[in-house]
Amino acid sequence: MDEITQYIVQLPSEQRVKYELLWQAIQEKFPELTPHFSYQMPGLYWHNKPIIWFGAFKNHLGIYPKPAAITAYQDQLRANHYEYAKGTIRVKWTQPINDNLIGELIAYNQAQIEVK
């Protein structure tokens, strides 16, 4: 069993279901990204460069895109009632996870890497 699978299966059942649904949706939408385990959580890389990480915590899902993505999408994050700071988005487990918005954050970061 790989590190990402180990990480996911150890989560409490409610969190695991939400996490798995998000992880699967993102991998289906972005099959070109490479799953990677670092900072003790699953993440995705594009051309050996980090795009985003997802960490499960007691009260929330932590999403860690690059700060520029958060700045670019802060209106959408606010509209979804997500807490956010410079490099962190917190989605309470009681909130719906907007995988379309997370997909936009990923696409934004991916485009930034391709531009350089």
- Domains of the chain, first to last: 3-115 (3.90.1150.200)
Give the pLDDT of residue 115.
Answer: 47
What pTM does this model have?
0.92
Range 95-109 average pLDDT: 96
Task: Decide if pLDDT at 64 tops 90.
Answer: yes
Range 44-55 average pLDDT: 94
Range 84-89 average pLDDT: 94
The mean pLDDT value of the chain amounts to 94
Give me the DSSP letters along 2-67: -HHHHHHHTS-HHHHHHHHHHHHHHHHH-TTSEEEEETTEEEEEETTEEEEEEEE-SSEEEEE--H
Range 73-77 average pLDDT: 97
Each residue's pLDDT tens digit, 25-43: 999 999 999 999 999 999 9
Give the pLDDT of residue 114.
Answer: 60
Range 76-91 average pLDDT: 96
